[in-house]
Each structure stands twice: as C-alpha cells, then as structure tokens.
Amino acid sequence: MNGTVTVLAASADTRRGLTIGLFAVFIAITLYITFWASRHNKTAADYYAAGRSFSGFQNGLAISGDYMSAASFLGIAGLIALYGYDGFLYSIGFLVAWLVALLLVAELLRNAGRYTMGDVLAFRMRQRPVRTAAGVSTIAVSIFYLIAQMVGAGALVALLLGIRTGETFLGMNVTTAKNVTIVIVGALMILYVTVGGMRGTTWVQIVKAGLLMSGAILMTLFVMAKFNFNPSSLLGAAAEQSGKGDAFLNPGLRYGAGDWKTKVDLISLGLALVLGTAGLPHILIRFYTVPTARDARRSVNWAIGIIGGFYLLTLALGFGAAALVGTNAIRTANPGGNTAAPQLAEELGGGPGTTGGAIFLAFIASVAFATILAVVAGLTLASSSSAAHDIYANAIRSGDVGEKDEVRVARIAALVIGAVSIVLSIFAQNLNVAFLVALAFAVAASANLPAILYSLFWRRFNTRGAVWAIYGGLATAVILVIFSPVVSGKPTAMISDKDFAWFPLENPGIISIPAGFFFGWLGTVLSRERDDVKYNELEVRSLTGAGAH
Amino acid sequence: MTSSDIRPGPEAGPGRHIPTADDYARMETDDRFIELRRRYRSFAFPMTVAFLAWYLLYVLMSAYARDFMDTKVVGNLNVAFFFGILQFVSTFLIAYLYSRYANRRLDPLADELNRDLGGRQ
C-alpha cells in the first residue's frame, strides 16, 4: 500500500508548505470579506437575507457554491474514477433535481416567505407546532450534512497534506491533525456566519464557486488536450486503465447486476437525489437573498448552467483520473476514491516529485478546502436562522420579540450549533460520509418536500397535515436507515459485528418519500381545520408577489 | 419595524400599500388571476411530470435494460453515455423554455396584478 500512498507524499515538504500557504491566502481573503460584510449588516433582513440585495447571477454563483460540496467535487470524480459510468448517475440526479426547484418552488417560496423554510410551511397554520416541526427538520437535515462535510474535511486535509499513520506533522499525528482540522473548519464557519451573516456567507460561496470552476476547467483542458479533445479516446483509455474493460463504461459496476436489491436501491437513490434538493433548507433560504421572484428564477437558471457545466467537467476529471492515474493507484491511496481529483492534478502538473505537480496539487487541495468551508458556512447559517426565527422567535416567544434580540439569538445559535457539530464530528469520524449525505437528502425529500408542495398547492392542507408530513417523513427515513445494511449486518457497515438490518435497501427514499406524502395527506383529512382566507393570501402573494417581503 | 409578527406579513415601506385579506380574497376570484394561475400550472405541472418520467426512464433503464444501454454508438461512446448527456440537455432546455414562457406569459400579468394590489413597481 505504501508504494502508491507516496504518490501523495512525494516532495511532501514543498507541497505542504504550498498547500498551507494557499489555504492561508483563501482564509485571509474570506475573513476580510466577512468583516467588510459585517459593516453593512444592520437589520434582521441583512443578517438573514443579505438585505435581499444580490443579483440573480451573484445568487446563482452562491447557490452553486453552496451546493457543490466536497462530496460532489472529490466524491463524484472519485466514484467515476473507481466505478466508471455509475458515478455519472449521481451527477445526473443532482442536476435534474434543480428543475423541481425551478418549476415548483423557488419563485413561490421567494414571494411567500421571509427568512426560513418554516415561514412558508407555517404561513396558514397554527404557528407553534408547525414552526417547531420545521425547525427540527431544518436542524436535523443541516446537522447530518454538516457532520458529513466536517468529517470529510478532517480526513481530506490529512490526506491532502500527506500525513500518514505513524508520521507526524508539526508534532501532530494523523488523529490530532484530523481533529485540529475539524476545529479550525468549525471555528471559521462560526466566524463567517456570526460576523458576516448571510452577506458574508454569500460572498464566501461566490469566491469558492469561482475558484472551483476555474480549477475544474483548467484540469479538464489539460486532460482533454492529452486526448486531442476526443471524448471517445478518453473513455477508451479509462476503460483500459481501469482493468475492467468495457464494463467500466456501462451501468452496473457499483450497482451490480443480478441482485434485485441493488437495482431497487439504485431507483431509491435516484428518487432521493432528484426530490431532495428542493427540500434542502440551506438551498431554500438562498432564494430570499434576491429582491424579486424573477431574480430567484434567474438564480436557479444560472445555478443550473454552472452546476450542469461543473458535472460535465467532473466526467472528464473522473475518467481522466482513471485513464492517467489508474483506478488501482486511486483505490490504494483512498478506498473511497476521494483523492482521484488531487492525484490527477499532480499527474497533470508533471507527475509526483515535480514542482509542477506539487503546485497543481496544492492548488486543487486548497480549492477542495475552500469548497468545504463555503458549504459548512451555508449549513450553519440555515440551521441557526431556523433555530432563531422559527423556534425561538415564533414558536417560543409567539413572535413577540425585537429584531435585535432575534439576530442576537441567531448568532448564539450559530455558535452553539457550530460547537455541537465540532464535537459530534470529532466523535463521528468513523461514520461513513456518503451515508450521512444520503440521509440528509432522504430526509429533505421525505419530510420537507411534501410539506412544501402541499403548502403551496393544496388549499385543504392544514396544521396536522404539515406536522405529520414532517415528523412522519423524518421518522420513516431515519428508522429505515438505522435498520438498513448501512448500519449493521455487512462487513462495510457502521456496526459490522451485529445484524439488525431487516430493511434490505441502503437508501430509504423509495419508501420514505411516498410515506411523507401519505402522512401529510392523512393528517390533513383527519383534521377539520381549514383556512381559506390565508390560502387566498398565500396563493395570490406567491404568484403575483403582492405583499412579498 | 420593531417586533417580529407572528405570521409573516408584508413589511411597510414608502409608497407601498399593504394588501388586506379582502384585497387578496377579491384577487383570488379575479378573472386575470385565475388566468395567471392557469397559465402557470398548465406549464409547470405537465412539465414536472414529463421530466420526472424522462429521468425515471433513464434510472430504470440503467437498472433493468443494461444490454441496450451497453450498445456502442460511436467509438467507445455507448447508449448509456448519450442517454446521460441527453438528461443534461433536456434539463438545460426545460430551464430555457420555462424562462421564456415566464417572461412572456407570466411576468407581465403578474406585474399588472401586483400593481393593482399596490405592491412594488
């Protein structure tokens, strides 16, 4: 194993110095932006929604920065490098999902709501139960996602700096280095959010989106140039180097042929990916940062263009890594394939041991670091906004709270949620990152999306329906995952020495999403509550923008 | 504004009339609003069904029609590759079509109704 890991450790001192230098430059720039942004934050609308002052293009970039996590940059490129075609399935689901947001959610939510997802869900309902449910689900989804990103950050930075087991770096062994990384990432995200609010966080995401796109475009050009810009020769070389031959280019390597379960699992995953995005709270609150519904539409259009373009680039990166670095070398460096993109960068710069390789690798490593920071800041902001606005201001204080007080609570919530996630991430380092992300998407699709769609389009929908949809979808998704083969019963499971997995699928979506819709319907028809006056207001406001914030 | 209201209500601003429940109720039965809602739903709902069906077809074929997906089309590029790329193309196309439709058929009417209710613009 050591032979290939040294790919990353070659010229370690130069490269570490460069990587840390680039990290430091990015941190300095974003901190400057954060403090600059804080001088423009005066009201609650500034803190939660950046004064609704961003343009459609700026917000489109920020949405892309919020959405393209390290999981998509390193994860998808890695999946393609290891499993070929099946990695591509992820990016398609992640992209098509944006049409749900564009056609059904973005504009109507922008007009109807104010700061949080809970604003729309509770619009015509009894406030306390619905606000509480919306807050619980927002915080649950965001924390699953947040821990996934931070655990990933720890593992990744250790890997990118080339710190191996038994080695020390600045006097730290691997475990300490990972923990230190998690604490630094956590401290930075708390700083971005509490000081910069939505305005600072948005700018961090814009800078990151620009960096990530530049890095991906640059690498793609390098890769394609090596194959005379002919996709067919790239795929041919990838198939050859993967050792799998033609099967590498066909569906089925990861979602194996034969067993019915893996095929149903593929469909279940496909559903969660395509329906989860429009229920992710940290994405939804981005629509409040623009002045009108039309700008919200423009933001989504830009986001679709940028994210779609990016996923097409990851195709070149993933197959390029397989062709140039080789699937075996990637799997030996990291079994999940997460280092495929950095290894490819080193190869493109001139190979291990060269200055060009070291520079390119350091650049891509710092892009990955920037990616993680921007995403965790967005998640911390979404969950702390919901804690302050939905739970504290509206559920606990029944709306009787001053603007300054509410923002103060939001900052405290960001600090608490940030601290809790640092601690959870340090203890959760053995959790599978992909499992946490899949769980976040499944809960968003099963709990949030049914409640949002019913709220916007179903006149009869009421408090009990909303509460049942959220808790019903949330509980179904979480329970099915706990009793799935991801948690027990398989050698790769979290608890591999026990077997209580009676649910055969890894992804709960195919059951839990219909369950969320069913509970929302059942709760609604079992309650006699109905508020036509408020539904008139919601419908007119969401479609015309009259009375929108 | 010094306190946060229980239900999200419109923020007061210079030159802005805040629509009342009566205004909203009147607009709800206004023929122009009914037309706006019809135009929006008649595009958004069928299109959602269409792209979800198209996407599910892709996922189902990736799972159950692997022989067909493995057919080579040009060089090393197979049906699965082109089917995947077509999902990107259709996503870009639907986003473009919806925006064009909204600019022409939804926005002017929504603006007119918004003005009638005393909102922005």
Against a cut of 0.80, is the pTM above it? yes
Question: Looking at residue B73, what DSSP letter applies?
Answer: E
Intra-chain end-to-end CA distance of chain B, in Å: 22
- B101 close contact with A: CB closer than 8 A: no
Q: Mark yes or no for CB contact B75/A250 under 8 Å.
A: no
pLDDT of residue B66: 83
Q: How far apart are the C-alpha atoms of A63 and A283, rounded to whole Å?
A: 7
Residue B5 has pLDDT above 70, yes or no: no
Q: Which residue of A has its CA nearest to B17?
A: A547
Residues near A69 by beta carbon (within 8 Å), at least 6 away in sequence:
A75, A149, A371, A372, A375, A437
Q: How far apart are the C-alpha atoms of A73 and A219, rounded to whole Å?
A: 12
- B93 close contact with A: CB closer than 8 A: no
pLDDT of residue B16: 60
The shortest CB-CB distance from B98 to any of A102, A257, A547 is to A102
Tokens of A459: 């006149």
* Residue in the structure block whose two tokens are 């920037």: A370
Q: Sketch out chain A's domains with CATH numbers.
A: 2-544 (1.20.1730.10)
**Which chain B positions have a beta carbon within 8 Å of A266's beta carbon?**
59, 62-63
Task: Indicate the domain borders of chain B.
Answer: 21-116
- B6 close contact with A: CB closer than 8 A: yes
The shortest CB-CB distance from B80 to any of A119, A250, A545 is to A250
Residues 25-44 of B with CB under 8 A from A: 25, 27-28, 33, 36-37, 40, 43-44
pLDDT of residue B120: 54
pLDDT of residue B121: 44
pLDDT along chain A (549 residues), means of 10: 44 74 90 91 92 95 91 82 85 94 97 95 95 96 90 77 70 82 92 94 94 94 94 91 86 73 88 94 96 96 96 93 91 81 90 84 86 92 95 92 93 96 86 75 95 97 97 96 85 80 90 97 96 94 92
Residue B10 has pLDDT above 60, yes or no: no
Residue B19 has pLDDT above 70, yes or no: yes
Q: How far apart are the C-alpha atoms of A547 and B18, rounded to whole Å?
A: 6
Q: Mark yes or no for CB contact B119/A548 under 8 Å.
A: yes
Write out pLDDT tens, residues B62-105: 888 888 888 888 888 889 999 999 999 999 999 999 999 999 99
**Which chain A positions have a beta carbon within 8 Å of B114's beta carbon?**
544-546
| Optimal mutation site among B16, B26, B91, B117, interface A, most CBs of chain A within 10 A | B91
Q: How far apart are the C-alpha atoms of A334 and B75, rounded to whole Å?
A: 31
Among A16, A41, A84, A133, which Cα is nearest to A407's?
A41
| Helix orientation angle between A260-276 and A85-100, rounded to the nearest 10 degrees | 40
SS3 content of chain B, % helix, strand, coil (to 5): 70, 5, 25
Q: How far apart are the C-alpha atoms of A208 and A376, rounded to whole Å?
A: 12
Residues forming beta bridges with residue B72, ordered by sequence position:
B78
Residue B15 has pLDDT above 90, yes or no: no
pLDDT of residue A250: 85
pLDDT of residue A516: 97
pLDDT of residue B118: 82
The shortest CB-CB distance from B88 to any of A85, A293, A312 is to A312
pLDDT of residue A216: 93
Give the side-chain half-sphere CA count within 13 A for A159.
26
* Residue in the structure block whose two tokens are 């920020």: A62
pLDDT of residue A88: 85
Write out pLDDT tens, residues B20-73: 889 999 999 999 999 999 999 999 999 999 999 999 999 999 888 888 888 888
CA of A270 vs chain B CAs: smallest distance (Å):
7
Q: Mark yes or no for CB contact A92/B87 under 8 Å.
A: yes
| Helix orientation angle between A293-324 and A231-242, rounded to the nearest 10 degrees | 50
Residues near A439 by beta carbon (within 8 Å), at least 6 away in sequence:
A144, A477, A478, A481
The shortest CB-CB distance from A251 to any of B27, B69, B117 is to B69
Is the ipTM higher than 0.95? The answer is no
Tokens of A411: 């900052």
